[in-house]
Amino acid sequence: MSASPTLSSTTTSFTPLSRRFSLTFRQNSNPTTSFPRKRPLVKIPRTRRVVVVKSQATAPASSEAVELTGIASEMKAWVYGEYGGVDVLKLDSNVGVPEVKEDQLLLKVVAAALNPVDGKRRQGKFKATDSPLPTVPGYDVAGVVVKVGSEVKDFKVGDEVYGNVNEKALEGPKQFGSLAEYTAVEPKLLAPKPKNLSFAEAAGLPLAIETAYEGLERTGFSAGKSILVLNGSGGVGSLVIQLAKQVFGASRVAATSSTRNLELLKSLGADLAIDYTKENFEDLPEKFDVVYDAIGQCERAVKVVKEGGSVVALTGAVTAPGFRFVVTSNGQVLRKLNPFLESGKVKAIVDPKGPFPFSQVVEAFSYLETNRAVGKVVIHPIP
Ligand SMILES: NC(=O)c1ccc[n+]([C@@H]2O[C@H](COP(=O)([O-])OP(=O)(O)OC[C@H]3O[C@@H](n4cnc5c(N)ncnc54)[C@H](OP(=O)(O)O)[C@@H]3O)[C@@H](O)[C@H]2O)c1
């Protein structure tokens, strides 16, 4: 790979949103649609009165401006009506804007990000616990609050937020996710967007950082412990390295990747970067308190954990004493980690092939599914 992953900036001047927005209310107009109108693939009850946020946002955060311009009852969204490969994804310009329940808020999506679970879900791997088709995919979002339900206390219109819209990744994920102009979300799944991060940088964080954090917590990870991260360059592993070192106080961090990503591992805080194309981590002379397997090598991972240590297995077959968990979306975790993001101790890694514009979601998924992405595959801008 020629380009280096984008590391988030650590300094910014933050302009309060209210000073950057002009709010205009219109009813039932659809000013952003540029596609031929056709019968909607997805029917959602239409909201009568919403605010449209027209994003002009590009990185970095300090130069972003998001203009609230009007109202839409329909939106553009990526949709699939059957399970399958990337070719089942269709861009639909006439999807109804999701109705907001009393305990939800409506976000204008400014940036979204892809996760392997989006692809596996689209392939029908979680059919038994999925929401009904058709589906608007997407877990990760960064955007602006444009409407709040009557029970929402923590957020107001105009707030810049980020989060993973699905509380349980596999148990009934939302039918209408974040790969759309709008998405409806419960506030407990959101946190204020870190002030120094662009929407694109923030969008790549939620699911991956929640997974990284929850896995470390479940092992009882604490200062002075050692860890080996298998797949240190992917969305989750790149954050496990940073959280282990910067948040939990690891004494030693080792991680695996192919040759091209070894420097990235070191820049994230790895003391030992292992090239899996040249050596087997089982041959190392040392053992670790925790092995965090983000690639599906649990059978090998358990050979390098210390007696009484823990092995997290995010994917693939689990060998004892390894364990699997499925991430829970939690805005409190994001709030807890925001100071580390805002101080620059933990950085957002956006794959340099992106961000992919909204029109190139199929290309973005095809790239993610090569299993070569570095950090996060981000979608930005969104119309
Ligand atoms: N259980 C849960 O709650 C949960 C939550 C999140 C993710 N997951 C799962 O965890 C896995 C990782 O997710 P992710 O988002 O981090 O994936 P990802 O970002 O798509 O991972 C891509 C990375 O994998 C690396 N890689 C490929 N083969 C490798 C190997 N043999 N050894 C080490 N690294 C290798 C690649 O680096 P190179 O090009 O250098 O090889 C690439 O940078 C996925 O299977 C995902 O579904 C589970």
CATH number where 228 lies = 3.40.50.720
Residue 242 lies in a domain: yes
Pair 226, 237 in one domain: yes
Pair 191, 249 in one domain: no
The crossing angle, in degrees rounded to 10, of helices 206-218 and 235-242 is 50
| Alpha carbon of 262 to ligand 1 centroid (Å) | 15
Pair 140, 262 in one domain: no
Residue 244 lies in a domain: yes
CA-proximal residue: ligand 1, atom 27 (nearest): 371
Pair 178, 45 in one domain: yes
Residue 340 lies in a domain: no
Q: Which domain holds residue 272?
A: 208-323
How many percent of the chain have pLDDT more than 70? 81
Residue 265 lies in a domain: yes
Pair 75, 104 in one domain: yes
Number of domains in the chain: 2
pLDDT value at position 72? Answer: 77
Q: Between these two residues, 20 and 155, which has the higher pLDDT value?
A: 155
Q: Which residues line ligand 1 (CB under 6 A)?
A: 115-117, 169, 208, 211, 230-231, 233-237, 256-258, 261, 276, 294-295, 314-315, 326-327, 368, 371-374
**What confidence tens digit (pLDDT) does each residue in 70-109 have?**
647 999 999 999 999 999 999 999 999 999 999 999 999 9
Pair 312, 265 in one domain: yes
pLDDT value at position 348? Answer: 98
pLDDT value at position 34? Answer: 27
CA-proximal residue: ligand 1, atom 26 (nearest): 231
Pair 133, 241 in one domain: no
Ligand 1 atom nearest residue 214's Cα: 3
Pair 93, 139 in one domain: yes
| Alpha carbon of 326 to ligand 1 centroid (Å) | 15
pTM of the model: 0.88
Amino acid found at 69:
T
How far apart are alpha carbons 72 and 70 in whole angstroms? 7
pLDDT value at position 60? Answer: 46
**What confidence tens digit (pLDDT) does each residue in 167-187 have?**
999 999 999 999 999 999 999
Ligand 1 atom nearest residue 258's Cα: 40
pLDDT value at position 19? Answer: 25
Residue 90 lies in a domain: yes
Does position 112 have pLDDT exceeding 90, yes or no?
A: yes
pLDDT value at position 8? Answer: 39
Ligand 1 atom nearest residue 371's Cα: 22
Residue 334 lies in a domain: no
List helix spans (H) across 4-61.
17-20
Pair 114, 241 in one domain: no
CA-proximal residue: ligand 1, atom 45 (nearest): 315
Please calculate the CA angle 362-124-301 and round it to the nearest 5 degrees. 90
Pair 245, 369 in one domain: no
Pair 195, 288 in one domain: no
DSSP 197-256: S-HHHHHTSHHHHHHHHHHHHHTT--TT-EEEEES-SSHHHHHHHHIIIIIS--SEEEEE
Q: Rounded to an integer, what is the distance from CA 250 to the centroid of its chain?
A: 24
Residue 333 lies in a domain: no
Domain boundary, last residue among 323, 342, 361: 323
**What confidence tens digit (pLDDT) does each residue in 284-341 have?**
999 999 999 999 999 999 999 999 999 999 999 999 999 999 999 999 999 999 999 9
Does position 204 have pLDDT exceeding 90, yes or no?
A: yes
How many percent of the chain have pLDDT more than 90? 81
Please calculate the CA angle 349-195-9 and round it to the nearest 5 degrees. 40
Q: Give Cβ neighbours of residue 204 (< 8 Å, ≥ 6 apart).
A: 113, 140, 235, 348, 349, 350, 375, 376, 377, 378
CB 95 within 8 Å of CB 138: no
User: Cα dist. 21→26, 66, 261 in Å?
Assistant: 16, 7, 40
**What confidence tens digit (pLDDT) does each residue in 236-261 have?**
999 999 999 999 999 999 999 999 99
Q: What is the DSSP letter of 130?
A: P
Instruction: CATH number of the domain at 364, please.
Output: 3.90.180.10
| Alpha carbon of 296 to ligand 1 centroid (Å) | 8
Q: Which residue of 275, 371, 376, 378 sits with most ligand 1 atoms within 8 Å of its CB, as the best mutation to test the pocket?
A: 371
pLDDT, averaged across the chain = 86
Pair 76, 121 in one domain: yes
Residue 103 lies in a domain: yes
| Alpha carbon of 360 to ligand 1 centroid (Å) | 22
For residue 266, the SS3 value is helix
| Alpha carbon of 234 to ligand 1 centroid (Å) | 5
Does position 56 have pLDDT exceeding 60, yes or no?
A: no
